[in-house]
Amino acid sequence: MTRPVIGVIGNAYVVENRFTTQMAGQNNLRAVTEVADALPLIFAGDPEFTNIPDLLSVVDGVLLTGARANVHPSRFATEPNPKHEPYDEARDALALPLIEACVAQGVPVFGVCRGFQEMNVAFGGSLHPEIRELPGRMNHRMPRLENGEIHPDPQVVFADRHEVRLTPGGTFAGIFGRDSIRVNSLHGQGILEPGPRVVTEGIAEDGTVEAIRIEDAPSFALGVQWHAEYDPQTNPVNRALFEVFGEAVRAHHAAA
């Protein structure tokens, strides 16, 4: 039997200030290949190029990756602010209905960082553009040097930085076999109000939502705020997520 296919959403970038591209980070591709045991297929995060029914007729699951761009505030009834740019409105236009279609059709969908935030917005939730500005919250953005530059060592940037408390007896606690984990943190935007079908199952020490599932989804429909794609080959928490995602994708592939 051929391996199942996981669609990996692309992000809009301009290369060399001239060439418009759709790109996906290789850590996402390695996580799909090496841990979920599937074939990664990058698709454009833009409805101009990607037709949702056609895409879902080809893939057995969808990975919604992190991205530099934030979800546009108009998607959750908030005024945009230049300091929270960049945005990728084409990805918004594709990802939000794609998430709804995946859940409706039982196609496994896994949201990471921006993908996690998209899942909340797709089901009627809202985001805060800068979680660290809320009273009592920590700085969830990536570590920087004293001069403001991003720390050059990826092991420092992606190191586990805080605890996440999981709902006892919930889906995530079942995946990990425990009620508390530690994760990395590289985001500014985060969930403000969960959507009606968005079930919070993981909360950081400062109250920030870190893990969600979509209620009554017929297949895998989970999202995490941290970057689980960075090290699932060696990190047992992130490995468990991609392994369970891969199991769901193979079940969908076998039933097709």
Which of these, 183, 186, 182, 188, lies nearest to 151 by C-alpha position?
Answer: 186
In angstroms, the Cα distances linking 39 to 61, 152, 232 are: 10, 31, 16
Residue predicted with more confidence, 109 or 73: 109
Q: What is the 3-class SS of the chain, one letter each residue?
A: CCCCEEEEECEEEEECCCEEEEECCHHHHHHHHHHCCCEEEEECCCCCCCCHHHHHCCCCEEEECCCCCECCHHHHCCCCCHHHCCECHHHHHHHHHHHHHHHHHCCCEEEECHHHHHHHHHCCCEEECCHHHCCCCCCCCCCECCCCCECCCHHHHCCCCEEEEECCCCHHHHHHCCCEEEECCCCCCEEEECCCCEEEEEEECCCCEEEEEECCCCCCEEEECCCCCCCCCCCHHHHHHHHHHHHHHHHHHHHC
| Per-residue confidence (pLDDT) for residue 116, from 0 to 100 | 97
What value does the mean pLDDT take over residues 115-131? 92
pLDDT in tens, 203-213: 999 889 999 99
pLDDT at 93 over 80: yes
In the chain, the N- to C-terminal Cα span, in Å, equals 13
- Res 145: pLDDT: 67
Average pLDDT score over residue span 134-138: 74
Tell me the pTM. 0.93
What pLDDT is stored for residue 125 in this prediction? Answer: 97
Higher pLDDT, 17 or 241: 241
Side-by-side strand order, sheet with 221-224: 39-43, 5-9, 61-64, 109-112, 221-224, 209-214, 198-204, 162-166, 180-183
Instruction: Report how many domains make up the chain.
Output: 1
Helix 114-122 and helix 89-105: axis angle, to 10°? 70
Determine contact, residues 10/40, Cβ cutoff 8 Å: no
What value does the mean pLDDT take over residues 63-79? 88
Q: Are 256 and 152 a contacting pair, CB within 8 Å? A: no
List pLDDT tens digits, range 162-175: 899 999 999 999 99
Q: Read off the tokens for 93.
A: 């236009």
Percent of the chain past pLDDT 70, that is, above it, reads: 96
CA distance 152 to 149: 8
Domain with 184 in it: 5-255
How confident is the model at residue 130, as a pLDDT? 77
Residue 1 has pLDDT above 60, yes or no: no
pLDDT higher than 80, residue 85: no
pLDDT at residue 148 in the model: 67
Supply the CATH number for residue 100's domain: 3.40.50.880
For 141-162, how does the pLDDT look when each residue is reduced to its tens digit (9 = 90+)? 767 767 767 767 677 667 787 8
By annotation, the residues acting in catalysis are 113, 227, 229
pLDDT-based confidence at 65, cuts 50/70/90? Answer: very high
pLDDT at 154: 77
Give the separation between CA 5 and CA 100, rounded to whole angstroms.
19
